[in-house]
Structure 1
Amino acid sequence: MTHRIPGASRVHRRWHGLILSVAALAVLAVIAVLGTQWVVANQSRSFPTSTPWGPDCSVWTGEDQVRLDRDEAKRASTAAAVIAQGDDAPISAPDVDDIPVEVMDVLVNGPADDAGPSMSCRYSGEEVEFEEELGSGLTPRAKALKKGIENDFADTEIGGFVAGGYDTGHGEGSAHYEGRALDVFYRPVNEDNRREGWLLAHWLIAHAPDYQIDVIIFDDKIWSTRYPSMGWRHYEADPDNEILRHLDHVHVDVLRGPDPDDGS
């Protein structure tokens, strides 16, 4: 006769379930690590990425992803813009002695045989209040961003807004209609202007939390708070339209916030 120990089957089932749970978690962890390594190894060949952990920003030097914290990224992108502007720069370059030389080189000069992108940062946005458009055609947040750009970049041609606001001329749902967007122009479309545009785009992505930036579009690339760790993604637009592809201007818009009148 076989004697069963009272409760033994329940204990066995519990241990069996625990072992299966631990095994499943281990498999998921391995998949996550391998998946992240694949993304960094493959996507970063074209665009820099920023994983959901560790420092907020990363710079692709062509061989390595160099991680930077937010302060380092802001100083590096600002210094790169100042260096590239030379004597025309409206401010002095911040100290970047702690930033690797190869990082500064790629931010100032661009990747080999290209203009950018080289830097990406992680920022998922934050809760903000909805702002009404001012008489200038900009919200207070967008106005502060415009002032910040003009403080660090000389002779900028900034548009994308008009006094009283737009009611036509942009795509459906465009942030321009709410005064939340700026267009910084780099015309004509050529390699020198692409390089200047990426200096600004990198500055914007590094300073995104300071100005509560939501979306940046330039040179067939887009970055947004909606996918903060994916970095720069390909931007789909009419291949024959330089304006829609944002080849001649950097588009940037700030966070919207919920409109108390429509519950969004």
Structure 2
Amino acid sequence: MTHRAAMPHRRWYGLIISVALLGVLSVIGVIGTRAAIDRIDVAFPTSTPWGPECSVTVGDEQVPLEREQAQRAATAAVADHQGEDSPVEAPDTSDIPDGAMQVLQDGPEDDAGPSMTCRSTKNPELEVEEDLEPSGLTPRAQNLKEGIEEVFAEPSLGGYEPGGYDTGHGEGSAHYDGRAIDAFFRPVNEDNRREGWQMAHWLIAYAPDYEIDVIIFDDKIWSTYAPSMGWRHYEADPDNEILRHLDHVHVDVQPGGERSDDA
């Protein structure tokens, strides 16, 4: 009878061992996934699929921010940089770490580049917009254009025209649908790169508000297809500044309906 009484304990031991093995396998899986992501040559910062939606890279540290914090931080960085010419006042950022604000305002110390990312996914409820506004943009893209003009002082915008484009861009480009806007920062130099990244950070912070789908700038791309991977390297002709998006920030809004490719 004694050996029968011990059987439930053995079952518990077996269950504990199984749970422990699952834990070890999970850790191995996470490490393997991280290694796989690293091999894709991801450009930091990245954001995890859990926790705060945004993060800012400050040195070797990832500073998490809620979406609303990221929006205030990005807007404040733009407003402070524009000074008296800014069409908007800098919002309060007293709850945001000084290091995060500094890197958003000035850029990384060693080189201009991406400092903030946010995860944002497609809105499955969006309908396809076929009718264009007088500008040649879809209503969603027109709304984005107006949002940019409300925050940025005299932005140099293009990539659209009345009636829409049918040539001049790559195959399958969102420009042909009237879904894309280019914000130019010319000539290509360090100061303009830093200004371009301020806009790119503002766009990524407000991506859900404007139903943004893809952002490309300075050899980097962010899209709703891989939101947690943050900024990735964008492959283009190394001798072509325009195709590499060195002189302009490209942004397009979601098409609605069926999924499209990165523009």
TM-score by length of 2: 0.87
User: What is the CA deviation profile of residues 10-54 of structure 1, one whole-angstrom value per residue up to 9, with x for unaligned ones?
Assistant: x9xx98996786355313321244457768999999520101110
Separation of aligned partners in 2, 1:33 and 1:79: 36
Question: Which residue does 2:153 correspond to in 1?
Answer: 154
Distance 1:27 1:130, change over 3 A: same
Percent identity at matched positions?
Answer: 67
User: What is the CA deviation profile of residues 64-87 of structure 1, one whole-angstrom value per residue up to 9, with x for unaligned ones?
Assistant: 100000000000000000011111
- The answer on whether the counterparts of 1:48 and 1:60 sit within 8 Å (CA) in structure 2 is yes
Deviation, 1:116, is 1.6
Opposite residue 149 of structure 1, the aligned amino acid is I
RMSD: 3.0
Separation of aligned partners in 2, 1:256 and 1:45: 25
Alignment of 1:178-197 (within 5 A): 178-197=177-196
Question: Which residue does 1:227 correspond to in 2?
Answer: 226
Aligned with 2:73 (options 73, 76, 97): 76
Question: Which residue does 1:7 correspond to in 2?
Answer: none
Distance 1:16 1:187, change over 3 A: same
Question: Which residue does 1:215 correspond to in 2?
Answer: 214
Query: Relative to structure 2, which stretch is displaced further, 152-161 or 45-54?
Result: 45-54
Gaps in structure 2 of 5+ consecutive residues: 1-7, 259-263
Separation of aligned partners in 2, 1:200 and 1:131: 25
User: What is the CA deviation profile of residues 148-198 of structure 1, one whole-angstrom value per residue up to 9, with x for unaligned ones?
Assistant: 000000010110111001111111111011110000000111111101100
Q: For 1:129, what is the secondary structure of its paired residue?
A: coil
Q: For 1:82, what is the secondary structure of its paired residue?
A: helix
Distance 1:35 1:118, change over 3 A: farther
Gaps in structure 1 of 5+ consecutive residues: 1-10, 260-264
Aligned with 1:129 (options 119, 127, 130): 127
Aligned with 2:105 (options 104, 108, 126): 108
Question: Which residue does 1:164 correspond to in 2?
Answer: 163
- The reply to whether residue 86 of structure 1 matches residue 118 of structure 2 is no
User: What is the CA deviation profile of residues 109-144 of structure 1, one whole-angstrom value per residue up to 9, with x for unaligned ones?
Assistant: 000121121001011121111111413210110000
- The answer on whether the counterparts of 2:41 and 2:232 sit within 8 Å (CA) in structure 1 is no
Aligned with 2:57 (options 56, 60, 70): 60
Distance 1:188 1:58, change over 3 A: same
Separation of aligned partners in 1, 2:14 and 2:178: 56
Separation of aligned partners in 2, 1:171 and 1:148: 26
Q: For 2:208, what is the secondary structure of its paired residue?
A: helix
- The answer on whether the counterparts of 1:215 and 1:225 sit within 8 Å (CA) in structure 2 is yes
Query: Relative to structure 2, which stretch is displaced further, 219-228 or 36-45?
Result: 36-45
Report the count of equivalent residues. Answer: 254
Query: Relative to structure 2, which stretch is displaced further, 120-129 or 75-84?
Result: 120-129
Distance 1:37 1:173, change over 3 A: closer
Separation of aligned partners in 1, 2:37 and 2:91: 30
- The answer on whether the counterparts of 2:200 and 2:217 sit within 8 Å (CA) in structure 1 is yes
- The answer on whether the counterparts of 2:42 and 2:229 sit within 8 Å (CA) in structure 1 is no
Q: For 1:256, what is the secondary structure of its paired residue?
A: coil
Query: Relative to structure 2, which stretch is displaced further, 207-216 or 32-41?
Result: 32-41
User: What is the CA deviation profile of residues 206-227 of structure 1, one whole-angstrom value per residue up to 9, with x for unaligned ones?
Assistant: 0000001000000000000000
Query: Relative to structure 2, which stretch is displaced further, 224-233 or 27-36?
Result: 27-36
